[in-house]
Amino acid sequence: MDMTDVDYSTKIPNNIGLAEDRRVLKALEQWHPGYIDWWMQMGPEGFQEAEVYLRTAVSVDPKGWARFGYVKMPEYRWGILLAPAEEGRVIPFGAHKGEPAWQDVPGEHRALLRRLIVIQGDTEPASVEQQRHLGATAPSLYDLRNLFQVNVEEGRHLWAMVYLLHKYFGRDGREEADELLRRRSGSADKPRMLGAFNEATPDWLSFFMFTFFTDRDGKMQLESLAQSGFDPLSRTCRFMLTEEAHHMFVGETGVGRTIQRTCEAMKEAGIDDPNAIDQVRALGVIDLPTIQKKLNLHFTLSLDLFGAEISTNAANAFTAGLKGRFEETKIDDDHVLTDATYPVLEYVDGRFEEVDHPALSAINMRLRDDYIKDCEKGVGRWNKIIEKTGVDFALSLPHQAFHRHIGAFSSLSVSPTGEIMGKDEWDARRNEWLPSAADGDYIDSLMTPCRNPGDYAGWIAPPRVGIDSKPGDFEYVKLA
Ligand code: BYC
Ligand code: FE
Ligand code: FE
- The response to whether residue 413 sits with its C-beta less than 6 Å from ligand 1 reads no
Separation of alpha carbons 168 and 146, rounded Å = 33
- The response to whether residue 129 sits with its C-beta less than 6 Å from ligand 1 reads no
Q: In ligand 1, which atom is closest to the CA atom of 367?
A: 55
- The response to whether residue 304 sits with its C-beta less than 6 Å from ligand 1 reads yes
The ligand whose atoms approach the alpha carbon of 156 most closely is 2
SS3 313: helix
Separation of alpha carbons 232 and 122, rounded Å = 18
SS3 190: coil
- The response to whether residue 256 sits with its C-beta less than 6 Å from ligand 1 reads no
**Could you tell me if residue 47 is inside a domain?**
yes
pLDDT at 1: 47
Q: Which of 119, 208, 246 to mutate for ligand 1's pocket (most ligand atoms within 8 Å of CB)?
A: 119
CB atoms within 10 A of CB 172: 12
- Span from the CA of 334 to the centroid of ligand 3 (angstroms): 32
**Could you tell me if residue 6 is inside a domain?**
no
What 8-state DSSP symbol labels residue 398?
P
**Could you tell me if residue 40 is inside a domain?**
yes
Q: Which of 311, 366, 367 to mutate for ligand 1's pocket (most ligand atoms within 8 Å of CB)?
A: 311
pLDDT at 155: 98
Query: What one-character-per-residue DSSP string does 53-88 give?
Result: EEEEE-B--TTS-EEEEEEEGGG----B--PPPPTT
- Span from the CA of 245 to the centroid of ligand 2 (angstroms): 10
SS3 407: coil
Nearest-CA neighbor of 253 among 72, 456, 43, 476? 456
**Could you tell me if residue 9 is inside a domain?**
no
**Could you tell me if residue 106 is inside a domain?**
yes
- The response to whether residue 153 sits with its C-beta less than 6 Å from ligand 1 reads no
Do residues 214 and 302 lie in contact, with contact meaning Cβ atoms separated by under 8 Å? yes
Domain count, the chain: 1
Output phi, psi for 122, to 5 deg.
Answer: -65, -35
**Could you tell me if residue 128 is inside a domain?**
yes
- The response to whether residue 16 sits with its C-beta less than 6 Å from ligand 1 reads no
Q: Which of 147, 161, 309, 406 to mutate for ligand 1's pocket (most ligand atoms within 8 Å of CB)?
A: 406
- The response to whether residue 221 sits with its C-beta less than 6 Å from ligand 1 reads yes
Separation of alpha carbons 295 and 382, rounded Å = 12
Residues of 273-308 as b/e, b for ≥16 C-beta within 10 angstroms? ebeeeeebbebebbbbbbbbbbbbbbbbbbbbbbbb
- The response to whether residue 308 sits with its C-beta less than 6 Å from ligand 1 reads yes
Long-range contacts of 167-171, Cβ-Cβ distance < 8 Å, separation of 24 or more: 167/21, 167/24, 167/232, 168/104, 168/105, 168/232, 169/105, 169/110, 169/114
Residues of 381-405 as b/e, b for ≥16 C-beta within 10 angstroms? ebeebbeeeebebebebbbbbbbbe
The ligand whose atoms approach the alpha carbon of 307 most closely is 1
**Could you tell me if residue 12 is inside a domain?**
no
Q: Which of 113, 122, 134, 194 to mutate for ligand 1's pocket (most ligand atoms within 8 Å of CB)?
A: 194
Burial (CB count <10 Å: 0-12, 13-18, 19+), residue 372: middle
CB within 8 A of 362, min separation 6: which ones?
Answer: 309, 310, 341, 342, 344
- The residue whose CA is least distant from atom 19 of ligand 1 is 313
- The response to whether residue 122 sits with its C-beta less than 6 Å from ligand 1 reads no
Q: pLDDT tens per residue, the chain (480 residues)?
A: 455 678 887 889 999 999 999 999 999 999 999 999 999 999 999 999 999 999 998 888 877 788 999 999 999 999 999 999 999 999 999 999 999 999 999 999 999 999 999 999 999 999 999 999 999 999 999 999 999 999 999 999 999 999 999 999 999 999 999 999 999 999 999 999 999 999 999 999 999 999 999 999 999 999 999 999 999 999 999 999 999 999 999 999 999 999 999 999 999 999 999 999 999 999 999 999 999 999 999 999 999 999 999 999 999 999 999 999 999 999 999 999 999 999 999 999 999 999 999 999 999 999 999 999 999 999 999 999 999 999 999 999 999 999 999 999 999 999 999 999 999 999 999 999 999 999 999 999 999 999 999 999 999 999 999 999 999 999 999 998
The ligand whose atoms approach the alpha carbon of 210 most closely is 1
Separation of alpha carbons 397 and 293, rounded Å = 10
CATH number at residue 227: 1.10.620.20
Do residues 65 and 57 lie in contact, with contact meaning Cβ atoms separated by under 8 Å? yes
User: Which domain, by its residues, includes 289?
Assistant: 18-478
- Span from the CA of 97 to the centroid of ligand 3 (angstroms): 30
Q: In ligand 1, which atom is closest to the CA atom of 123?
A: 42
Helix and strand numbers (H, E) in the chain are: 13, 5
- Span from the CA of 406 to the centroid of ligand 1 (angstroms): 10
- Span from the CA of 193 to the centroid of ligand 2 (angstroms): 15
What 8-state DSSP symbol labels residue 91?
-
- The residue whose CA is least distant from atom 25 of ligand 1 is 307
Do residues 154 and 162 lie in contact, with contact meaning Cβ atoms separated by under 8 Å? no
Q: In ligand 1, which atom is closest to the CA atom of 196?
A: 36
- Span from the CA of 358 to the centroid of ligand 2 (angstroms): 31
The ligand whose atoms approach the alpha carbon of 246 most closely is 3
- The response to whether residue 364 sits with its C-beta less than 6 Å from ligand 1 reads yes
**Could you tell me if residue 164 is inside a domain?**
yes
- The response to whether residue 305 sits with its C-beta less than 6 Å from ligand 1 reads yes
- The response to whether residue 127 sits with its C-beta less than 6 Å from ligand 1 reads yes
- The response to whether residue 119 sits with its C-beta less than 6 Å from ligand 1 reads yes
Half-sphere exposure of 226 (CA within 13 A, CB side): 21
Instruction: Identify residue 36 by its one-letter amino acid code.
Output: I
- The response to whether residue 306 sits with its C-beta less than 6 Å from ligand 1 reads yes
